[in-house]
Amino acid sequence: MIGSVSPGLVLILGALLVPFLPGKLRYAYMLALPVLAGLQLYGLEQGNFAQTEIFGYTLTLVRVDKLSVVFGTIFLIAAFLNVIYGLHQRDAMQEVAALVYSGAAISAVFVGDLISLFVFWELTAISSVFLIWASRSERAIRAGLRYLIIQVGSGVILLAGVTLYAQQTGSIAFGHLGLTNLATGLILIAFGIKAAFPFLHNWLQDAYPEATVTGTVVLSAFTTKLAIYALVRGYPGTEILIYIGAIMTVFPVFFAVIENDLRRVLAYSLNNQVGFMVVGIGIGTPLALNGAVSHAFVHIIYKSLLFMSMGAVLHRTGTIKGSELGGLFKSMPLTTLFCIVGAASISAFPLFSGFVTKSLILTATAEQGYVIAWLVLLFASAGVFHHSGIKIPYFAFFAHDSGLRCREAPLNMLIAMGIAAGLCIFFGVYPDPLYALLPYEADYAPYTASHVLSQLQLLLFSALAFALLMRTGLYPPELRATNLDSDWLYRKAAPALVRRVMALGGEVRDGAVAHAKRWLEATFLQIHRHHGPSGILARTLSTGSTVLWVVVLLGLTLLMAYL
């Protein structure tokens, strides 16, 4: 252990040397960084460290407890897998951005105050956008700008909430906040943007598919799960999160089913899975929070695996459109196998990781009497099996023979996918090591007859529904199309409305100017009529006429004075 340094700083500071190292030495160094950070993490004792005073407030750069350790652990696993997956690339910008981004997310889960959280919150936004811009396309540049605006905006809202909270309470400690006033409401909105709450979610589907092959995998692991960590820390038991999370699990299903870009399908699926975690946080019982945390843990692995497999397809074929793929199991059998493992995990098949975590959330929801929310989660579970469990591997590898023939994925990609797939199976078969990491004592047995049978029934009937829809031609075909989401409101509708308002304002302005001009012209005409050269007030009068008028006016004055 190097003092009480945050494990995330090992990655951030270590990333600064990456551009100066040659070839194989660079790769060995990048692989060593997450390992060193892991040794640093497990060399720390529980408690608060690296504290300092600033303007009367205490900053805590390292807070070690079970919640920070479990998120720090999975973030480091993801960082290690990401390095392996990206070893084929020759792009220092991506390598540095990925390490800084990973380190910022890890540092954020170890801080104990809201100011330090804000600093690393913004660092994740600034560093991650380079993973999108690294695609170096016009679409990626535009998507990256939108992503950066939204992510930095989240930080600005967070800072506003923290400022109000500090004024009201005199503290910046990051603990249980609760939705009690404007300050904590603003902080919740900031967390909700990163968690991709409904109507705040489109940055995810907009930006992730535009990132590089490696960048999308890296992005999928950290931002939304950092938000989940923050919600677990600050808002457990906040009931409104149950309903927000339930909506999050449902609406992406419909978009994912009709989406042709398979990485965008996975982006919607990511939104769906985060919704399960948000429901668990809203319920707030130890079982539900364990479910949310454990589901975030395994979700990072299996979602990374799915993005890795689709990234390998994109890397080898140059396309990720479902309408252009199919039959790749012949060319990429190992990638196909790993993708199926990820699909089984996200679908919560027994013996795969998603089963041993999602069931905690469903059980907690049922135990607390949230019947409608429980039914919604069941529907969402069937939906995720459709769009991620079946659609992703089916249309990429089996749907039809697209005629594409390519090599298997590069060795480093296969190694990363193999490790991730192994972890999905390991935690699915033997969840006890995962349960031991959770923040609360976990006395839960996922492999009961009722759990297994009910989940198998759900999956089998979902598979039957998919087969019937395919056989009858009712399943939405994979077509080149642009699917409208709520981002249409601010990307298209709002600018059009602004242009219309500006045009209407211009018409009103032009009308007002024209009216004023006509009034001034009429006024000047009247003045000219009376005071012009031929006007009555401009005529020259004789002395006699003038005297006469003076006498008349004097007489009228005397008469009025007499009366």
HEC sequence for 198-213: CCCCHHHHHHHHHCCH
Please state the separation of Cα 471 from the chain's center in Å.
36
Region 514-526: mean pLDDT is 82
Reply yes or no on whether the pLDDT at 238 is more than 80. Answer: yes
* Contact yes or no for 33/10 (Cβ under 8 A): yes
Each residue of 425-444: pLDDT tens digit? 999 999 999 999 999 987 88
Q: What is d(CA 305, CA 291) in angstroms, rounded to the nearest whole number?
A: 21
Report d(CA 315, CA 307) in Å as an integer. 12
- Phi and psi at 353, nearest 5°, equal -60, -40
CA angle 377, 382, 387 (to 5 degrees): 120
Rounded mean pLDDT of 467-487? 70
Q: Cβ neighbours of residue 332 under 8 Å, at least 6 residues apart? A: 312, 313, 316, 397, 406, 408, 409
Is the per-residue pLDDT at 404 higher than 90?
no
How many Cβ atoms are within 10 Å of 141's Cβ, its own excluded? 13
Tokens standing for residue 518: 């006509």
Is the distance from CB of 331 to CB of 406 less than 8 angstroms? yes
Identify the pLDDT of residue 524: 75
**What pLDDT shows up at residue 479?**
60
Q: What is the DSSP letter of 493?
A: I
Distance of alpha carbon 472 from its chain centroid, rounded?
36
pLDDT per position as a tens digit, 284-303: 999 999 999 999 999 999 99
pLDDT surpasses 60 at 1: no
Host H or E run for residue 381: helix 371-384
**Residue 474 three-state SS:** coil
What is the mean pLDDT of the segment spanning 207-217? 94
* Cα–Cα distance, 230 to 154 (Å, whole number): 13
Q: What is the pLDDT of residues 303-313, one digit of tens each?
A: 999 999 999 99
Q: Quick one: pLDDT at residue 540?
A: 62
Average pLDDT, the chain: 90
Longest dimension (CA), the chain: 126
Q: Mention every residue, 6+ apart, whose C-beta is less than 8 A from residue 25.
A: none
Answer whether residue 563 shows pLDDT above 80. no
What does DSSP say about strands 57-64 and 47-54: parallel, antiparallel, or unpaired? antiparallel
The total of other beta-carbon atoms located within 10 Å of residue 225's CB is 27
- Report which of residues 108 and 505 the model is more confident about: 108
177 touches 192 (CB < 8 A): no
Residue 483 pLDDT exceeds 80: no
Please give the share of the chain, as a percent, with pLDDT higher than 90: 65
Q: d(Cα 133, Cα 210) in Å, to the nearest integer? A: 8
Helix, strand, or coil (residue 22): coil
User: CA–CA separation, 63 vs 50, rounded Å?
Assistant: 9
Q: What confidence score (pLDDT) does residue 534 get?
A: 65
**Hey, what's the torsion of the CAs at 236, 242, 246, 248, to 10 degrees?**
-50
More confident residue, 513 or 545: 513
Q: What tokens were used for 384?
A: 């995720």
Report whether pLDDT(43) > 80: yes
